[in-house]
Amino acid sequence: MLTEEPGDLAAVGSDVALQIPRGKVAYALPVARYSSVAWALRPGDHVDVLISVLLVDLDEEFQTPLPNNASCVQPPEGEGCEMGIMGRLEVLPNGWVVNLTPGGQQKQYPRLVTQLTIQDAVVLRVGDWPSEEEEKAVPAVEEGAEGATVQPAEGQQEMVTPQRAEVEPLTLIVSPQDAMVLKYAQELGASIDFVLRSAGEEAGHRFNTRAVTLQYLFDNFGLELPAKLPYGVTPPIQSLQPGATGSAETGEATGSPPVGE
* pLDDT of the residue at 4: 60
Which pLDDT band, with edges at 50, 70 and 90, does 199 fall under?
very high
Q: Nearest to residue 68, comparing CAs of 60, 77, 79?
A: 60
pLDDT at 9 over 60: no
CA distance 123 to 173: 6
* pLDDT of the residue at 75: 65
CA distance 192 to 51: 5
> In the predicted model, what is the mean pLDDT of residues 51-77?
84
More confident residue, 155 or 1: 155
pLDDT at 256 over 70: no
Kindly state the helix (H) or strand (E) to which residue 133 belongs, with its residue range.
Answer: helix 132-136
Contact 35, 48 (CB under 8 A): no
* pLDDT of the residue at 90: 83
* pLDDT of the residue at 146: 46
> In the predicted model, what is the mean pLDDT of residues 176-205?
96
pLDDT at 119 over 50: yes
- Which of 69-83, 144-158, 208-222, 241-255: highest mean pLDDT? 208-222
Q: Nearest to residue 54, comparing CAs of 46, 43, 41, 65?
A: 65
Which pLDDT band, with edges at 50, 70 and 90, does 152 fall under?
low
Note if the pTM is more than 0.75. no
Mean pLDDT of the chain: 81
More confident residue, 261 or 184: 184
* Phi/psi at 202 (5° precision): -65, 130
The C-alpha angle 242, 258, 195, rounded to 5 degrees, equals 50
Strand 168-174 and strand 121-126: the pairing is antiparallel
More confident residue, 70 or 96: 96
Sequence ranges of the domains in the chain: 13-57+102-230
